[in-house]
Structure 1
């Protein structure tokens, strides 16, 4: 299954003296995707399912890279796997999609993959310098001489084995701390660090689909302060309407800090979202909310079709097919609908279907996906397609006949899954595939 990963190195910043907490960067990244993980001093994002939401690959790259720059991150990379993105970021390669993954990774030093670098001394004595050198070693010998993590990491980096992470969870409230690089004597100078905290809060607000109406900036005085100065101070800024606009919040905070006098030098900042409300954005639907009474949805869609073109407004149509991939197709609004019979479903159907089923590993005839799977319900046999032929790029005809046994399975980490066991061709061993996920 195609993936799109980003890796951000939080220990490599444009300002060595002002480091943003990796946990705060991970929370900020949740505005782009719920699949965010922390690995050592790096933050990993899997954004494949978010590309269309944000307007395509280029737009997602632009947003992530702009935010990373605001947070002081200078080294980041994009690649089809998380370990490949992390390796590219460590050697300064921004685009891991510039060619086939093997061509991108093979020339890289093996030090850029942690599980391989652990055995760096031994690999160096064997004459290995790059990932390609390590891959050329006999797999059996690697398995006996090194731990299992080395081969697993290589397979995951090259996309030969699925990756699994403990995803970062979105906190219910926002509060972040930042240690300043030096003693700050004037309140307006606090904005340099406060802006980074506001950028993080903006990501948290987007992820929660909320707007802030009040936030509080706390500052802690340096330990070398006068006794009557106290521990620190704070200022609360309020907005007229819920907002996620970081620039607007920065302007408000700047105006308020201009009126503050510090009693001692400041060493740390803490930003908290004091009042948060659900954020209701302006509707951008093509269907007007104030349609005249009595006007049907079909008439509105006809106007939209005239504006955008017939190939841009489509409707799903069921077909008489038991195979999930061909159970429906899309056709223009005005096309004649064929008379079809709806297939009676005997078992539960998943909420999301993978475009291409993901082959699962098997251990002791038991399918694995982030751990062993427990079969709950099934099997439901689906067969058909012997009449269906497809033509590839070379003009050759191939059959799309399938024979599958579908099961509802339970994963300890991923929840309820829809998997099937391949029954065709009969002369090969039956394989397990992940085809859908339940909400």
Structure 2
């Protein structure tokens, strides 16, 4: 055994990390699930305890889940936000020890060797962790052992503590072989051979196991039992991007401040390029000689590290700064940074969307980036659900709408008109206008999406017609066969 047997490792598993994060923001008491689209099928990504008790499980189709649990509430999952939340939990865990790292997508690993006495002992430390996470509304299971693999196994397959100096096999022997962090195919194959527990696996000759399953199986077994060391990499602090410039004489002209900002941008963007990052939010702090300071914040539509594109966007903010008796120091900081790996460019040196992104950034400095939005296609044949409205700065163009028939440029809530029968009325009044039908194309029958809760579509089928009137209006009408009536819902250009 290596000397690392004296170490004490804590593994924290968050079985409902994604749903706990979402419910912290908007709590609900009903069954709740987060969904992700995989292979064009919306499936459950994570669910709360109430949904789990109703027989739902991860990977289940959302439509099947709604049929089994009609009162299920759901929201789209956000894996990026879940990853940020896990990193925040990792920083919180450093209150117990300096060596805290991330374990997969839903766990943490802590090396508490020599730190437990600061909390009154290991039992008191684990109790404090559980209590704080419970108050925060986060479900967690903890395992404590001498090795990382054993702690992982105890947290996920029988929450418990392996006493210091105890035989690891005695603590882990009753656990299933999946507790050794094996691939699902390997664990299933071992189960078919009758090797269902860690004790069963440890009792078998090693050579046949290595020949059949490869060295990874024995490596995981040795790591769990302490025969092979396994390092814990603490969470690295993100790089801090900030540069400053001190001036021998105060300045006050906009051109001088912009020249200084340009020098800072060159240095900052060089560091961003080295790490393949791009700035999303920049903050320029101007310190005046009277001790006061002014700040100019720039929010970009896309992460950038090109000084030539960023510098002109600062001009409006800098022009509105009161320099007072002069500015003697400038500080530029990248407040929000996102990965920006190199990409292939065309012969003209630049992406064709660069101009649009810069325009969005310029307008965003005046009205706010969140107020500039774009339409994105959605996978639905219901007219009201065939598009999404998303902030342009945080979304990509979704391509063209794929529809079997033309759709009007303007959509509005259905407006009733007078009409009888399944054929479009020859004459009708709409918005105080007397209109006469010149040409009618249709019908296009659209059925409700039964799996969605939409009161407007619960009435049944709709037969849509494209109507050209003699007065020049091109309207989109529909007829409801189950409750005869005519409505106008859109207008073509």
Asked if Structure 1 and Structure 2 have the same fold, meaning a TM-score greater than 0.5 normalized by the shorter chain, the answer is no
Greater percentage in helix: 2
Structure 2 length normalisation: TM-score?
0.33
Structure 1 length normalisation: TM-score?
0.37
Q: Which has the larger radius of gyration?
A: 2
